[in-house]
């Protein structure tokens, strides 16, 4: 599996050489570990499932609706008619906007709650923030904007600036509406437009609406009793308060030098935060329900010679390679260009398969068995890494992840685990009590002990698998005849190609609905943006007042999704509760994947299907209505 220099240059490998299997422990008892995983899962299960989290509106609006980065400037309400409104200015909205401009649609207006483009990268500016899968794949439109990230895992500020550059490159700042939240979307049959109401009193009438408002930037809070009783300082990590902590995203939180700080949450954000808080706070208490996997970071700077040698098309080839080694299990016949903790399980599985006398004779069941064995070995390697870095045996044991790889988002950090060796850092394991018990005026109660603190920081995640109305954060979405989208999708998505629904003319969706899913979320948004832009441009070019799926086409796509469904529920049901499996399906909600209802044949098969549909040019499954037509 040696990679030649030519391949390295063509496909974007940081350095040519071997990227073979990682050495993992062989002396493991899989049956014993399987039982250990079950026990650890059960003690963390909560009967209320995702309802254990509370929304950040209403009395908790300060955790999400206050913008710490951009003062809201008073303005007159907007009263106007436009062609396209894109709700959300993160990756989804930006890539839809860019695709619309490339398709020749000029009257595009992005409506964004924040004060600038960026989405998660606008809001999240906490100390140490970086992307946690490699930036050469993750950051979109690198070739179009002639930009190469400065290192494998780019800093948040660099990605935020790239988002702004996308906005400038495609002219999306023209007509953008910042610092504005959409409250209601209602279809008006009389004028064949969507009426958009906002928190600024606007009445915007849009011919087309694209929902690009992702759930990855809408924080959620743990429903801890007494959360409003705390008398000290309190905030969510995605709304970082540097006025209180001092410093900036690179650290130097000097105002915490005399403060006792509590961090609730040890997912991807918490792992990045702990080294900075541990270094600068007088004392840090880290409240952990479930530990993350934390591998080495090895965040290498970008080699300028490598960057200069890249050939056109390199990013999409690299993205496809990354997807193959992660989501498709392995990619026999091609090297692993990314070669990190995300792709390790695929590499190790491939090495086992290639060592067989006749790999082609392997049955799917045998392949799954091999991959499961390698999964247990990778996780054991990560647990033994904890022992090698954490001095206190009890702390080390509490930091060990006992679940399958990809049950939780994998993390990497070179300083996280060793931070728990500092005398001013205390890990509080709350797995037995399934979380923090309550918050008082002066601190946090966990395991029957009250910890007095000056500040509480929630790194408690986002509205990713909660109810759809919570994820969209729009009070009302009503299509034709007052049909609520939330009611329409209550028992499952009903779409054509995952991006439009019957009864909701001229409305399009992005995200994890009934689409192909890439291992790289920005690739999803690029494919969806291109397809949505094509449909809107065609409708405009053909003089149509409305475009929407027929009921038959919608039903046929739902049937296609069911026929090609890959049932991962058994795997998800074995996983420790978290947002990947809707907190284990408690609260009567059942197991629900954060990936929606994905198209079984895969992301690239889905992209090919859409391309073939567009090539035919007949807009099969869509109905075009013209002025004067009933219902148009």
| Mean pLDDT computed over 528-536 | 98
List C-alpha distances in Å: 293 to 41, 79, 341.
15, 50, 10
Cα 529 to Cα 536: distance, rounded to the nearest angstrom = 11
Residue 630: pLDDT band by 50, 70, 90 thresholds? low
Residue 246, pLDDT > 80, answer yes
Residue 6, pLDDT > 50, answer no
Residue with tokens 């391949």: 7
Class assignment of domain 222-296+414-458? alpha beta
**What does 504-544 look like in DSSP terms, one character per residue?**
-TTEEE-SSSSS---SSHHHHHHHHHHHHHHHHHHHHHTT-
Looking at 59-175, list the stretches that DSSP marks H as alpha helix, in order from N- to C-terminal side.
91-102, 120-123, 135-138, 156-169
Tell me the percentage of the chain whose pLDDT exceeds 90.
83
Under 8 Å CB-to-CB from 348, ≥6 apart: which residues?
21, 22, 24, 374, 377, 378
3-state secondary structure of 112: coil
**pLDDT the model gives residue 13:** 40
Report the candidate in 479, 477, 508, 478 with the shortest Cα–Cα distance to residue 84: 508
Question: Per-residue pLDDT tens for 352-387?
Answer: 999 999 999 999 999 999 999 999 999 999 999 999
3-state secondary structure of 411: strand
Cα 249 to Cα 297: distance, rounded to the nearest angstrom = 18
Residue 628, pLDDT > 60, answer yes
Cα 107 to Cα 227: distance, rounded to the nearest angstrom = 45
**pLDDT the model gives residue 386:** 98
Q: How many CB atoms are located within 10 Å of the residue 525 CB?
A: 25
Question: Per-residue pLDDT tens for 447-499?
Answer: 999 999 999 999 998 887 777 888 888 999 999 999 999 999 999 999 999 99
- Are β-strands 260-264 and 455-458 bridged in parallel, bridged antiparallel, or unpaired? parallel
Instruction: Identify the DSSP state of 398.
Output: H
**pLDDT the model gives residue 405:** 97
What are the two backbone dihedrals, phi and then psi, of residue 73, each rounded to the nearest 5 degrees?
A: -95, 130
Residue with tokens 């919608």: 554
Residue 9, pLDDT > 80, answer no
3-state secondary structure of 320: helix
Question: Per-residue pLDDT tens for 268-326?
Answer: 999 999 999 999 999 999 999 999 999 999 999 999 999 999 999 999 999 999 999 99
Question: 593: buried, middle or exposed (CB in 10 Å: 19+, 13-18, 0-12)?
Answer: middle
Cα 63 to Cα 230: distance, rounded to the nearest angstrom = 14
**pLDDT the model gives residue 59:** 86
Structure tokens at 418: 């060793």
Question: Per-residue pLDDT tens for 489-517?
Answer: 999 999 999 999 999 999 999 999 999 99
Structure tokens at 103: 């398709």
Under 8 Å CB-to-CB from 15, ≥6 apart: which residues?
8, 303, 306
Question: Per-residue pLDDT tens for 133-183?
Answer: 999 999 999 999 999 999 999 999 999 999 999 999 999 999 999 999 999
CB 125 within 8 A of CB 67: no
- Domain residue spans in the chain? 1-42+314-410, 79-218+464-568+597-625, 222-296+414-458
List C-alpha distances in Å: 453 to 21, 258, 394.
45, 11, 23
**pLDDT the model gives residue 16:** 33
Q: What would the CATH number be for the domain defined by 79-218+464-568+597-625?
A: 3.50.50.60
3-state secondary structure of 85: strand
Residue 14, pLDDT > 50, answer no
List C-alpha distances in Å: 474 to 7, 214, 284, 468, 492.
47, 12, 37, 10, 19
Question: 258: buried, middle or exposed (CB in 10 Å: 19+, 13-18, 0-12)?
Answer: exposed
**pLDDT the model gives residue 18:** 62
Cα 94 to Cα 210: distance, rounded to the nearest angstrom = 11
For residue 197, what are the β-bridge partners? 184, 203
Question: Per-residue pLDDT tens for 47-76?
Answer: 988 889 888 888 888 888 889 999 999 999
Residue with tokens 């792992």: 271
Residue 5: pLDDT band by 50, 70, 90 thresholds? very low
């Amino acid at each position: 599996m040696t990679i030649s220099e030519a391949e390295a240059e063509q496909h974007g490998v940081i350095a040519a050489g071997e990227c073979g299997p990682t050495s993992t422990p062989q002396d493991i008892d899989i049956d014993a570990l399987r039982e250990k995983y079950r026990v650890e899962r059960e003690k963390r299960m909560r009967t209320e499932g995702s309802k254990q989290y509370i929304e950040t509106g209403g009395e908790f609006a300060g955790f999400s609706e206050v913008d710490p980065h951009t003062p809201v400037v008073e303005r007159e309400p907007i009263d106007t008619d436009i062609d396209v409104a894109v709700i959300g200015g993160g990756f989804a909205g930006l890539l839809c906007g860019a695709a619309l401009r490339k398709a020749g649609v000029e009257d595009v207006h992005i409506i964004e709650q924040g004060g600038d483009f960026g989405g998660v990268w606008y809001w999240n500016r906490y100390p140490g923030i970086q992307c946690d899968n490699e930036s050469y794949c993750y950051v979109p439109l690198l070739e179009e904007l002639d930009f190469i990230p400065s290192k494998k895992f780019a800093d948040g500020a660099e990605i935020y600036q790239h988002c702004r550059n996308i906005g400038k490159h495609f002219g999306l700042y023209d007509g953008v509406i910042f610092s504005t939240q959409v409250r209601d979307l209602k279809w008006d049959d009389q004028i064949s437009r969507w009426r958009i109401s906002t928190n600024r009193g606007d009445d915007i009438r849009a011919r087309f609406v694209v929902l690009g408002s992702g759930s990855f930037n809408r924080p959620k809070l743990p429903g801890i009793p007494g959360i409003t009783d705390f008398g000290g300082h309190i905030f969510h990590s995605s709304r970082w308060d540097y006025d209180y902590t001092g410093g900036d995203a690179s650290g130097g939180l000097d105002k915490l030098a005399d403060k006792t700080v509590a961090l609730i949450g040890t997912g991807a954000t918490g792992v990045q935060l702990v080294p900075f808080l541990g270094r600068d706070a007088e004392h840090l208490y880290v409240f952990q329900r479930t530990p993350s996997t934390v591998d080495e970071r090895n965040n290498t700077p970008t080699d300028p010679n490598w960057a200069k040698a890249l050939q056109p098309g390199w990013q999409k080839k690299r993205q496809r390679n990354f997807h193959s080694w992660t989501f498709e299990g392995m990619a026999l016949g091609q090297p692993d260009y990314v070669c990190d903790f995300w792709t390790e399980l695929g590499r190790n599985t491939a090495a086992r398969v290639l060592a067989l006398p006749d790999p082609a004779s392997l049955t799917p069941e045998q392949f799954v068995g091999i991959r499961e064995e390698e999964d247990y070995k990778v996780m054991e390697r990560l647990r033994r890494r904890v022992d090698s870095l954490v001095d206190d045996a009890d702390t080390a044991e509490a930091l060990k992840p006992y679940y399958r790889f990809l049950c939780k988002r994998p993390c990497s950090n070179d300083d996280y685990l060793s931070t728990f060796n500092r005398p001013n850092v205390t890990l509080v394991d709350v797995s037995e009590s399934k979380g923090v018990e309550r918050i008082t005026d002066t601190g946090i109660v966990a395991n029957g002990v009250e910890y007095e603190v000056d500040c509480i920081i929630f790194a408690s995640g986002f509205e990713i698998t909660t109810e759809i109305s919570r994820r969209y954060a729009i009070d009302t979405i009503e299509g034709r005849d007052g049909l609520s989208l939330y009611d329409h999708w209550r028992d499952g998505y009903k779409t054509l190609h995952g991006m439009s629904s019957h009864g909701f003319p001229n409305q399009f969706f992005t995200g994890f609905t009934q689409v192909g899913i890439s291992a790289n979320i920005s690739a999803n948004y690029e494919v969806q943006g291109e397809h949505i832009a094509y449909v809107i441009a065609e409708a405009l070019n053909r003089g149509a007042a409305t475009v929407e799926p027929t009921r038959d086409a919608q039903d046929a796509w739902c049937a296609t999704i069911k026929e090609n469904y890959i049932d991962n529920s058994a795997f998800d049901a074995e996983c420790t509760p978290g947002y990947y499996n809707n907190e284990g399906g408690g609260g009567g909600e059942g197991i629900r994947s954060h990936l929606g209802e994905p198209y079984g044949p895969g992301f690239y098969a889905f992209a090919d299907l859409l391309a073939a549909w567009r090539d035919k040019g007949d807009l099969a499954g869509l109905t075009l209505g013209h002025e004067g037509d009933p219902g148009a």
